[in-house]
Amino acid sequence: MAPRLQLEKVAWRWVETVRPEEIGQEHVELAYRVNLPACMMGACRRNCKGNPNCLVGIGEQAWLGDIDENAFHNIDDPNSERRDKNTFVGLTNLGATCYVNTFLQVWFHNLELRRTHFLREHRNITLNYEPESICEHLQYLFALLQNSNRKYIDPSGLVKALGLDTRQQQDAQEFSKLFLSLLEVTLSKQKNPNMQNVIQRQFCGQFSYVTVCNHCGRSSARPSRFYELELNIQGHKNLTECVTEFLKEEKLDGDNRYYCENCLSKQSATRRIKLHSLPPTLNLQLMRFVFDRQTGHKKKLNTFICFPEQLDMGSFVEEKQGQQCVYELSAVLIHRGISAYSGHYIAHVKDACTGDWYKFNDEEIEKMEGKKLQLGIEEDIAEPVKSPTRKPKCNKGYHCSRNAYMLVYKIQEEQNLDPSKNNIKLPAFLQKLVDQDNHKFEEWCNEMADMRQQSVNKGKAKHEEVKKLYKLLPTKDGELYEFIPLEWLKKWLDDSTATKEIDNTLLLCSHGKLHPDKVGDSKRVSLQAAQQLYERYGGGPRLNSSLCSKCVSQRCRVLRLKKQLNDDYKEVFNLLKRNFSGDGYWVSKASLRSWRQLAFEQLKEDEQETKHSNGLNKGREEEMKAFNEDIVCTHGGLSIMETERKLVSSEVWKKLREYFPKAPEFSGNQQPCQECLTLEQEEKDNEAVSKMMALHQKNQLLNLFHEKNRPTLTKWPQDTDVLYIVPVFFVEEWRKFIRRPTKSSPVSNVGNTLLLCPHGGFMFTYESLISGDAKQIALLWPSEWEVINRLFIVDQAISIHCLKDTKSPGITTQYTTQPDLCWECRESFLFQQQRDLREYTQATVYIHGGFMVFFTNCKSIFQSQDGAKRLKLCDGTAAPASPVSVTNLAKKGGIRRSTRHRKLRGEKALIVSANQTLKELKIQIMHAFSVAPFDQNLSIDGKGLTDDSATLGSLGIVPESVICLKADEPITDYAAMDDVYDGIKISCGSYICFNYWKK
């Protein structure tokens, strides 16, 4: 079929030979294209919108022939989320919680920890029971992981109770320490003694820091506990080397000498760690995430480390006393990725009951073949360049990994325990909770199955309806027909959208019939098919016998006029090229350029509905209200702007008048408007006066205009004892007038009352002007003040005087203002200013990050007279270094206006409010600098910010403040690490924070 535009052109070709009054039914049918042949199936790749009889390519292909039932619904089989027999349950990833899921799976497979946790005391179970505490959430989660019918469960309850941000990935090793510490503290309060020390029994070992003095040989031992051994992997190839370095002897000499209590002085010494006892579950943290001193952030080490399936720790333990030291590998925790702040966590865990290995990847769980650990693709790292290091060959019984960050070993004796102990039975109250959740899951499965079946039944019914009605749609010659909207037919055949009633209102012309321009948006169907569609879906108005002869006649007239217009346009175009004699007529150049478009617009108004729209032409139509009106002045005469009009011949004007009979007419000898000429001359005279005035004022105040030889307060001029003050706004506006006297208005008065309070007192002190308020004023010499008084209206004279006392010993200088300072108004203003600064919202502060402390910004602090540094507030007011009264503040300091902050390298701007806490600010800093809150040392003006619960306003952080961020370096002294362990602090707010970095 021909393209739509070509079909439309053919449909109206007859108007060239047929006048409107000669139109018959055959012409109307040609305009509506009712006699075009229908397209055959497969002949059109897409539907022909220009042919109302083309009914192919509108979506019918999906319904013809046999259809699979699965095509009638988009609901997955709910049984795909059912747990398979003899498999484990996965955990949903809530965004960035894969590190949580890996540890939960590892702890769940610790049978002793799971069994003991099920014995925890519980509250009364009600129908709407919801866990509250973290231990209750863990207990319920373990119960679901054991007996749930679901393939995976949602850990959001536990994650929310911990206060973790699901959008931000936290340090996995840090999370492990914090969570076990939290469990230890919570379970220690239980009445059951088996529960009180389950964490210690499973994970706690004993070692001591032994220091030997090289001078006297005195040995001192400091016993300590550990829950995991943190092993340095940098420079090592296997696990044995890492453990050996952990226990190696360290020399203490030089500045790091040891204070010997026996020698009573600092002496060179040696220090090492002695392992005394190992726990049943030995956690080995491989320190892959280390601090980079150059960037101030953590980085990941992609070092290959070999580790055995069977680990003998006997050679590392002193005074074994018969304890078992042979361990079996039970879990490997993997971090995939090249960054310490992103990536994905996966756990490989060995089933304690069967000895099979499983890979736990959030919701997905994969069983390894042959009861062997297979790391496989977990060792692939998407690096920007290919790594130069190759994976080393591993002997039998060993594994090699560049992504493992934690190894879990269990004592070998645990495999020889009674198999019946591996069967952990849920307490009745937990089984009841699990049964309730399983019941909800089964109800959901049944509901989804019913919805699937309903969709299938509905689709089958729709299939039969479409197959039946689609065959009735084509219209045969001589039969009655109706028009149906094309978009409605497409939606009817599109099963993804609900079929609404038929709406023909958009297809109607002003006579209530089908508009000729809407033929392409409709389809001609048989009366029988239309009747059934309206009976089933309703709607209207129905378009039977809907061909509008009036619209066709109107369109015929317009098209003929358009053809005539095109001929006239060519004629006018040729006439304009010719030279003519006589007076002629004035025509607007803009109207002359667009007269054909203006004539077209008039034809469209006659047509009552435009067929095409053009944004550019519409803009011209709005710009030009009517032809030739833009050369009519406001007084109704000929405009004085000769460049905007053109003189045309009488023949051209006669043609234009045929289309615009009401257009303003101006003959060639018409004189421009005299009133406009008079006003133009007056404007030129005023500009000349302004230029003379500006030149005179500039010559009188030349130094003020060029800002040369200006007096300053910091270096008071010796040849005068008085300076005068005007607002800087006055000087700026005056300079604008001098530079462009014809474009700017002249300045008539000074306006010094802007610098005075309602009582007529001055609002600034000499000290405050020096500190920054001088930016609001301009200083004048006495000679300049005399000129100002002559040239401008001065509402109030303001001056500052320098009085020197030579009688007393030493020359003292005192500065006064006239009018005097109004202390009452100034104190009130400063008090309000201070209060506003403590109540700001959406203000900017600057964080300067780096490993080394850097904090000094000349635009953020200034030195007061007593040498104390004070912060600049948002308007420049200095906050006192110590609490003072408002009166003292007004006398000592002053109002210092804010200046634009110059951003430094490594600095970032944050938007904060006065009522938010320091902890919330640390979270913002974490997102901006990728430094965890517990690694942040913040200070302002040399003062540390440590109270996380305090608001920024109470800490003295005001708009435009610069805060120093120092990222901590890792601890290398394990004795110091033990001190930190003794001071564990658990916070269940927005983050669980435990700082193990050196302070």
Question: Closest Cα to residue 826, out of 886, 766, 874?
Answer: 886
pLDDT for residue 868: 33
pLDDT for residue 413: 66
How do beta strands 364-367 and 404-411 pair?
unpaired
Whether 764 and 825 have beta carbons less than 8 Å apart is answered as no
pLDDT for residue 863: 28
Residue 962 is encoded by which pair of tokens? 């610069």
Whether 52 and 32 have beta carbons less than 8 Å apart is answered as yes
pLDDT tens digits, one per residue of 26-38: 999 899 888 888 8
What single letter denotes the amino acid at residue 765?
T
Q: How far apart are CA 655 and CA 576, in angstroms?
A: 12
Which H or E element spans position 108?
A: helix 98-108
3-state secondary structure of 405: strand
Question: Closest Cα to residue 242, out of 316, 349, 298, 340?
Answer: 316
Per domain, the residue ranges of the chain are: 193-378+395-415, 679-834, 838-851+903-979
Strands (E), 309-397: 310-312, 326-336, 344-350, 357-361, 364-367
Reply yes or no on whether the pLDDT at 78 is more than 90. Answer: no
Higher pLDDT, 887 or 388: 388
pLDDT for residue 465: 79
List 48, 98, 306, 822, catalytic entry? 98
Whether 142 and 108 have beta carbons less than 8 Å apart is answered as yes
Q: How far apart are CA 937 and CA 922, in angstroms?
A: 10
Task: Read off the pLDDT of each residue in 338-345 and give the average, rounded to a whole number.
Answer: 82
Reply yes or no on whether the pLDDT at 438 is more than 70. Answer: yes
Q: How far apart are CA 49 and CA 55, in angstroms?
A: 10
pLDDT for residue 605: 67
What single letter denotes the amino acid at residue 998?
K
Strands (E), 92-159: 152-153
pLDDT tens digits, one per residue of 184-197: 888 888 888 878 88
Whether 934 and 995 have beta carbons less than 8 Å apart is answered as yes
Question: Closest Cα to residue 999, out of 940, 983, 986, 987?
Answer: 983
Q: How far apart are CA 245 and CA 689, in angstroms?
A: 92
Provide the mean pLDDT of the chain. 80
Which residues, at least 6 apart from 282, have a Cβ–Cβ distance to it below 8 Å? Answer: 205, 229, 311, 313, 327, 408, 409, 410, 411
Question: Closest Cα to residue 176, out of 89, 94, 285?
Answer: 285
Please state, for a pLDDT cut of 90, what percent of the chain lies above it.
22
Whether 357 and 365 have beta carbons less than 8 Å apart is answered as no
Residue 404 is encoded by which pair of tokens? 């493992």
Q: How far apart are CA 239 and CA 221, in angstroms?
A: 26
Higher pLDDT, 468 or 284: 284
Give one word for 846, left, alpha or beta, with left for phi > 0 and alpha for psi -120 to 50. beta
How do beta strands 585-588 and 722-727 pair?
unpaired
Higher pLDDT, 955 or 993: 955
Residue 222 is encoded by which pair of tokens? 């400091």
Reply yes or no on whether the pLDDT at 612 is more than 90. Answer: no
Strands (E), 747-807: 777-780, 799-805
Task: Read off the pLDDT of each residue in 453-474 and give the average, rounded to a whole number.
Answer: 79
Residue 543 is encoded by which pair of tokens? 């378009």
Higher pLDDT, 774 or 572: 572
Which H or E element spans position 408?
A: strand 404-411
Burial call 906-923: b when 16+ CB within 10 Å, e when fewer:
ebeeeebebebbbbbbbb
- The architecture (CATH level 2) of 679-834 comes to 2-Layer Sandwich (3.30)
Reply yes or no on whether the pLDDT at 775 is more than 70. Answer: yes
pLDDT tens digits, one per residue of 678-710: 888 888 888 899 899 999 999 999 999 999 999
pLDDT for residue 860: 29
Question: Closest Cα to residue 59, out of 434, 469, 353, 495?
Answer: 495
pLDDT for residue 388: 52
Residue 888: band (very low, low, confident or very high) from pLDDT cuts 50, 70, 90 = very low
End-to-end CA distance of the chain: 81
- The architecture (CATH level 2) of 838-851+903-979 comes to Roll (3.10)
Question: Closest Cα to residue 996, out of 272, 286, 230, 98?
Answer: 230
pLDDT for residue 870: 32
Whether 482 and 532 have beta carbons less than 8 Å apart is answered as no
Q: How far apart are CA 35 and CA 374, in angstroms?
A: 73
What single letter denotes the amino acid at residue 832?
Q
How do beta strands 90-91 and 152-153 pair?
parallel
Angle, alpha carbons 350-356-358 (nearest 5°): 60
pLDDT tens digits, one per residue of 931-968: 878 788 899 888 889 888 888 888 888 888 899 998 76
Q: How far apart are CA 341 and CA 931, in angstroms?
A: 9
Residue 92: band (very low, low, confident or very high) from pLDDT cuts 50, 70, 90 = very high
Whether 625 and 706 have beta carbons less than 8 Å apart is answered as no
Maximum Cα–Cα distance for the chain, whole Å? 130
Residue 262 is encoded by which pair of tokens? 């026996």
List 344, 399, 848, 901, catalytic entry? 344
The class level of CATH for 193-378+395-415 reads alpha beta
Q: How far apart are CA 408 and CA 302, in angstroms?
A: 20
Which residues, at least 6 apart from 384, have a Cβ–Cβ distance to it below 8 Å? Answer: 338
Mutual angle of helices 98-108 and 134-147, in 10-degree steps: 70
Q: How far apart are CA 339 and CA 300, in angstroms?
A: 6
pLDDT for residue 792: 92
Whether 22 and 67 have beta carbons less than 8 Å apart is answered as no
Task: Read off the pLDDT of each residue in 725-749 and give the average, rounded to a whole number.
Answer: 90
98 carries an active-site annotation: yes
Higher pLDDT, 372 or 45: 372
Range among 239-253, 765-779, 885-899 rated most confident:
239-253
Reply yes or no on whether the pLDDT at 854 is more than 80. Answer: no
Q: How far apart are CA 405 and CA 182, in angstroms?
A: 22
Range among 325-329, 373-377, 985-989 rated most confident:
325-329
Residue 132 is encoded by which pair of tokens? 């509250």
Which residues are 481's β-sheet partners?
526
CA distances from 467 to 46, 61, 526, 642 (A): 20, 10, 15, 73
Q: At 984, give phi and psi (nearest 5°).
A: -60, 135
Q: How far apart are CA 791 and CA 757, in angstroms?
A: 26
757 carries an active-site annotation: no
pLDDT for residue 417: 46
Least confident of 310-324, 530-544, 963-977: 963-977
